[in-house]
Structure 1
Amino acid sequence: MGQSATRQPTVVAEGFSYLECPRWHDGRLWVSDFYTEKVVAIDGHGDTDVVAEVPAQPSGLGFLPDGRLLVVSMRDHRLLVRDESGELTEYADLSGVVSGVLNDMVVDERGRAWVGNFGFDLMGGAAVRYTTLTRVDPDGSVSVAAEDLGFPNGMVLLPGNVLVVAETFAGRLTAFDIGEDGELSGRRVWAQFGETPQTDDVGEAVQQLEVAPDGICADAEGAIWVADAVHNRVIRVQEGGKILDEISPGTGVFACMLGGEDGRTLFLCAAPSFPEHERRPVREAQLLSVDVEVPHAGLP
């Protein structure tokens, strides 16, 4: 593994509830703080600006071709859009095709959004159930893009119109080709980490996962940085599953994003754990950063 295995991240900002879905945009890192129901933008000095308040809990973020921000509103199954004045309005209602709490999202250069969902009541202790990926087109129309995904979570768009989805409870990254019409085809395993758990018990599944891929981002060599939600680390993986690098900051890492002026700053969304009842009442989440050699590529 690379030198960064021994590199300790530094704290960029702290005092959050639970950070997810970081996006480097326009010189700042935009990120959702789940349980304060805020989207914040953080500059390189740690100065924080609240850019949106989402009462039904913000998650996935993405930017439309015209620069407007799309925000996943988790609990009411909606996509919201933020205009230049900062006002949020409904962009699409996903409740007709999605029953579970919405999750992460990636937006492509044409303004198409792919949105994951939990598929089951994770925080309520329900059994693991596989679920769908939803596509929202620029005209606001909503459709099922893929089925039978094991907790679709972070996503990246690689060159050649390839969508890679982190399936947290399947322990893998799954790739699709995106057609001109937005249809997905050519489904394949991009990286498999150990055996996929064959249990529907969340606790057992977590114990069995060698990697629980959460938030992900891609670099200019075609590798993907993966936040491993149950092993307090972020790993750099090439297609086929070989782990090239690992950074272990000594706390939970649930999402990552390459940014900074040269694209070589790896931002980590860190917290001691992920259960809502542990994170909601406290402000222990941090945004960390570490310098890496290969810069950002792809989307987000």
Structure 2
Amino acid sequence: MPSPRSVTENAKVITGGLAFGESPRWHEGRLWLCNWGTGEIVAVDEGGKSKVMLTVPAVLPYSIDWLPDGRLLVISGREGLLLRQEADGTLVTHADLRQLSKNPWNEIVVDGRGNVYVNGGGPVPAPGEHFGPGTIVLIMPDGAVRQVAENIAFANGMAVTPDNKTLIVAESHARRLTAFDIGDDGELSNRRVWADLGNDYPDGICLDAEGCVWYADVPNRHCVRVREGGTKLDRVEVDRGCFACMLGGADGRTLFITAAEWRGFEHMVSDARTGQVLSAEAPAPGIGWPSYSSGNRW
């Protein structure tokens, strides 16, 4: 298999001074992200100007997405609560996930029909060990909550195809992207390997219009664009761990990367501020969910 084309020369630092940037989303002309370790949700424009949009009662993990009506959702991972921001700025409980797992929740994606998928829930590891197998839960538009997948090997980023028919999840410790068919009722079925990634450990992911997935990789310090089946096409290398990536910008062809120096789970909450947002030109625009355009909901 040929090596993926490197686009490192196009990468540039947009902003720095973050703790750990996670869950990047392109929304209303800016990149929104969770600044883990601070409770902050930050918006950054393409010129690097940033603003704290909201502070939530969570340290880490916490992740964001939006309902089709524009209300912000925040998964407060350790607390087991999915929070919703109302029009007046207050946070209310959208769903209580503690009945499904007492362990932390991680990532969220809202599809074009308003179905909310949240993953995580795996047992917290002892020092030097992996997180236990996690799950994916579904929160329906009517508020019903149920588990729709299990035995996920450290669930990280998720994305849904633009036809709302396929969910792709990064299984970091299995070093693969896994796909599920999405039924009309939001149920997941037909679990399969979408791409075996060899020695890579996928974290946050996003989709592009050519049917490829970009994934971030912390230990290998890069973001890679991969086709279904595992062919790696493009790579952006940086000097620190890549936690997540998102396509955005005016035409959706800018790959934004959240990166930081990695010192282990036990040092994630500290005074170190090595987190950055970087950008690189991408060969195809973003598509699907999480959406790079706030007006792209069905």
Is TM-score (shorter-chain normalized) higher than 0.5? yes
Structure 1 letter corresponding to 2:31: L
Q: 1:218 aligns with which of 207, 221, 225?
A: 207
- TM-score (norm: length of structure 1): 0.90
In structure 2, the residue matched to 1:19 is 21
- Equivalent residues of 2:11, 2:278 under 8 A apart: yes
- Equivalent residues of 2:162, 2:289 under 8 A apart: no
Larger displacement relative to structure 2 (175-184 or 151-160): 151-160
Change in 2 beyond 3 A, CA 1:275/1:135: same
Q: 2:93 aligns with which of 90, 94, 105?
A: 90
In structure 1, the residue matched to 2:232 is 243
Change in 2 beyond 3 A, CA 1:139/1:297: same
| 1:274 Cα deviation from its structure 2 partner | 5.6
Query: Residue 144 in 1 paired to residue 147 in 2?
Result: yes
In structure 2, the residue matched to 1:174 is 178
Change in 2 beyond 3 A, CA 1:295/1:4: farther
SS of equivalent residue, structure 2 residue 37? helix
Q: 1:36 aligns with which of 32, 35, 38?
A: 38
- Equivalent residues of 1:98, 1:117 under 8 A apart: no
Could you tell me which runs of 5 or more consecutive residues in structure 1 were left unpaired when the two chains were aligned: 195-209
Distance (Å, rounded) in 2 between the aligned partners of 1:86 and 1:124: 39
Change in 2 beyond 3 A, CA 1:34/1:241: same
| 1:118 Cα deviation from its structure 2 partner | 5.0
Distance (Å, rounded) in 2 between the aligned partners of 1:270 and 1:189: 26
- Equivalent residues of 1:51, 1:86 under 8 A apart: no
Q: Which segments of structure 1 move beyond 6 Å, counting only runs of 4 or more?
A: none
| 1:131 Cα deviation from its structure 2 partner | 1.9
In structure 2, the residue matched to 1:227 is 216
| 1:49 Cα deviation from its structure 2 partner | 1.8
SS of equivalent residue, structure 2 residue 7? helix
In structure 1, the residue matched to 2:260 is 271
Distance (Å, rounded) in 1 between the aligned partners of 2:16 and 2:90: 26
- Equivalent residues of 2:101, 2:121 under 8 A apart: no
In structure 2, the residue matched to 1:298 is 288
| 1:126 Cα deviation from its structure 2 partner | 4.7
SS of equivalent residue, structure 1 residue 163? strand
Q: 1:114 aligns with which of 113, 117, 121?
A: 117
SS of equivalent residue, structure 1 residue 169? helix
In structure 2, the residue matched to 1:52 is 54
Distance (Å, rounded) in 2 between the aligned partners of 1:153 and 1:236: 16
| 1:223 Cα deviation from its structure 2 partner | 0.3
In structure 1, the residue matched to 2:294 is none
Distance (Å, rounded) in 2 between the aligned partners of 1:274 and 1:191: 28
Structure 1 letter corresponding to 2:49: D
- Equivalent residues of 1:120, 1:126 under 8 A apart: no
Query: Residue 66 in 1 paired to residue 69 in 2?
Result: yes
| 1:56 Cα deviation from its structure 2 partner | 2.2
| 1:128 Cα deviation from its structure 2 partner | 3.8
- Equivalent residues of 1:228, 1:234 under 8 A apart: yes
| 1:275 Cα deviation from its structure 2 partner | 2.6
In structure 1, the residue matched to 2:11 is 9
SS of equivalent residue, structure 1 residue 187? strand
Distance (Å, rounded) in 2 between the aligned partners of 1:49 and 1:123: 36
Measured against aligned partners, the alpha-carbon deviations of 1:146-182 in whole angstroms (never above 9, x if no partner) come to: 0111011100111341100101111111101111111
Query: Residue 284 in 1 paired to residue 274 in 2?
Result: yes
Q: CA RMSD in A?
A: 1.7
Structure 2 letter corresponding to 1:245: D
Query: Residue 130 in 1 paired to residue 119 in 2?
Result: no
Structure 2 letter corresponding to 1:24: W
In structure 2, the residue matched to 1:197 is none
Change in 2 beyond 3 A, CA 1:26/1:122: farther
In structure 2, the residue matched to 1:189 is 193
Change in 2 beyond 3 A, CA 1:51/1:130: same
Distance (Å, rounded) in 2 between the aligned partners of 1:64 and 1:123: 36
Distance (Å, rounded) in 1 between the aligned partners of 2:126 and 2:216: 20
